[in-house]
Amino acid sequence: MLSDQVRAAIEQSDCVLAIITSSTGPAMEKELNYALGKGKLIIPVVEQGVGDHSFLKKFNPIFRFSRFDGNPGQVESQVLVFLKQQKLAKENRQALGAIIGIGMGLLLLSGLAKE
């Protein structure tokens, strides 16, 4: 069951960014199902190696990334092109692009820290 806080955040959002890794748990699936039910635009950024679970078939397109790829900006660029096609406001596209860049950077740093 989702908390009131999570439901409210989803309901107030223009879109939902989902960075899905091999360690993503079932709570995210519940949150994304709720967002789908609310008709929210979902941007799934999925780590290479995460299998094509039936849950992921709900999303089109899916943006793939690798922690070992030296070019995290590639995913950010792909998402920005997609958002432009969705006619999302320029300010929202730029903000989401920045969030993706930060998220990808943090994932890469966490990968380096584990090595």
Residues 54-113 have pLDDT tens digits of 788 888 899 888 877 666 678 878 887 887 777 766 677 666 666 776 676 666 656 555
CA distance 47 to 23: 10
Mean pLDDT calculated for residue range 43-56: 82
Strand pairing partners for 20? 46
Question: Containing domain of residue 86, as a range?
Answer: 4-114
Count of structural domains within the chain: 1
Which amino acid, one-letter code, is at 97?
G
CA distance 54 to 52: 6
Residues 94-110 have pLDDT tens digits of 666 667 766 766 666 56
Residues 25-40 have pLDDT tens digits of 888 889 999 999 999 9
- Structure tokens, 13: 């959002």
